[in-house]
Structure 1
Amino acid sequence: MNFTKREQMVILILVTVIVSIVGYNIIRKDELVITTDNEMKEQEKSVEKEAKIEYNRDKSRDTIMVHISGAVVKPGLAVIKKGDRLIDGIKEVGGLIDNQADLDRINLARVLEDEEKIYIPKIGEESHNKLFITEEKDIDDKSSYNNSLKNDNKLINLNNGTKTQLMSLPGIGDVLADRIIRYRSETRFKHKNDLIKVEGIGDKKFQSIEKLITVN
């Protein structure tokens, strides 16, 4: 079949148009596939990122930080789980120094609280304002020791005690000592139980130090 030049031109144009349309659709389809893959990857990354953030939040809720010094291998901060005991915190700072720590003056079973400052005494070392190494029940059991404190007028005064003295109280670390000082600079303590008004000090912590403080 012979076509005229005009017919040949029309056929060529039609073929060119058809090829262009088919090619465009193929390219567009590839672009859509690539775009869809990229979007899915971005969504996956976003989900993973949010999951990691939530995991870290949950993890942070389950951990506390305490400061342990004295007769330990690596004095400093220990990050432990809520409900962990003193023995767990000591492990995080390298353990006790062999034959130096006075185990009779610490309670390894004590449950630690966030922001605590714990001092591990050495054998033969004088206690000297480091009562925070013992439990409240340990202090109560040593009535003679409590009486000597009272007789020697060594109760910590919330209104004029130094930061070091405040940190010697059970469960009172650097942060809480600063908060107590900040509170009394604005409002003096009129009663011992006013200490509960300081952020971070609850009934349990107050009860553990009530017999060691005064406001006179």
Structure 2
Amino acid sequence: MKDAKDKLKEGSKEDVGSDCKQGVIYVHVCGEVANPAVYPLPAGSRLYEAIQAAGGILESGAGEQLNQAAQLEDGQQVYVPSRDEVQEGLEGGFHSGRLGEPGSGNGGQQGVLSADEGKVNLNTASKEQLMTLSGIGEAKAASIIAYREEHGGFQKIEELMEVEGIKEGVFNKVRDQIRVN
């Protein structure tokens, strides 16, 4: 029987799918790691194990930004930000292929880093995650959640200004910290 790495190299989706049922998950590790790639890992693996599989964090990486004890799920992406990105406020972290989950927001993890990664997803963020945004307290976070439930989510970040209590000033404070996809 082929091992998970052989199946991954061959690109057999059918075989990969059966691996998930047999206790193998696939995690994309990228950013400031020695060998960015997709890695097969045993189900229940932790973030630090995915980073080890990728050869560890580079000296330029900001590993302290990650909850390395977080449990991984199939299809997740782990992005290790650089120290420069963190200084510029583009903090990344543990990401999910389902964007926004701890993978879905558990434990303060955010949801897959491209230009939008590391930003709070208005459509999936918890109340606590929303409250990390500048000018968003408990009441505004609750209003954001109520709005997305009532309207089926946000289509663009500018819709945030349609939420009760959020005007242009607050929107301008958070616009670079949020996303909707």
TM range (shorter): 0.3 to 0.5
Which is greater in Rg?
1
- The structure where helix makes up a greater share of residues is 1
Q: TM-score, normalised by structure 1?
A: 0.39
Q: TM-score, normalised by structure 2?
A: 0.45
